[in-house]
Structures are given as structure tokens and as C-alpha cells.
Amino acid sequence: MAALANTDFQLRDFARRVPAERDQRACAACWFVRILFIAGIVFWLILAGFALWSHLPAAGTVLDYLSPTAVQARDAGWAALSEGAR
């Protein structure tokens, strides 16, 4: 019986602590922090993409980067775009 009374007390205590209505300012602040965090992640992704893109050489040498060496690319039958078609 004591366990049942304790459970009843805990449920009533929990119900007393839960606010009947949410504070709209707290909710808005929470969403502001979430949006700020997501905007920061998007900013860093754009910045990282720009940094990577700016360090890439001309677009014609992409196949040279896909293969460990240009010799291995030629052996596999690839022609690097910077060398022209075979």
C-alpha cells in the first residue's frame, strides 16, 4: 500500500510541477537558438565548400585526382581530360 501511495504522490507532484501553459518567450528563445545553430552549420558548410572549390585546379584535371597516378589511369584505359581524348 505504501508503494501505491508513493506513486500517487509522485504523479501529483509531477502534475504540480508541469506548467499549465508554456511561456511563449522561452519557446521563441529556444527556436532562435536552434535557428542560429543551423545557420552556423550552413555557414561553415558553405565556407568549407568554397575553400575546397577555390583550391581545385582547372576542371579538366578531375580524372587525375580520381586515380592515384596518371600512369595508372592510362593503364586502366582512361584519358585524363587535361590530356585530351585518345
Pick the residue with more confidence: 40 or 78? 40
- At 33 the pLDDT is 92
Buried/exposed code over 18-29 (b: 16+ C-beta within 10 A; e: otherwise)? eeeeeeeeeeee
- At 51 the pLDDT is 83
Find how far residue 55's CA is from the centre of its chain: 22
The number of residues making up the chain comes to 86
Per-residue pLDDT tens for 29-47? 888 999 999 999 999 999 9
Q: In this structure, are residues 82 and 60 in contact, taking their beta carbons and an 8 Å threshold?
A: yes
- At 72 the pLDDT is 72
Whether 24 has a pLDDT exceeding 90, the answer reads no
Q: In this structure, are residues 58 and 34 in contact, taking their beta carbons and an 8 Å threshold?
A: no
Whether 25 has a pLDDT exceeding 80, the answer reads no
- At 53 the pLDDT is 77
Q: Could you tell me which residues come within 8 angstroms of residue 70 by beta carbon, excluding any fewer than 6 positions away?
A: 64, 80, 83
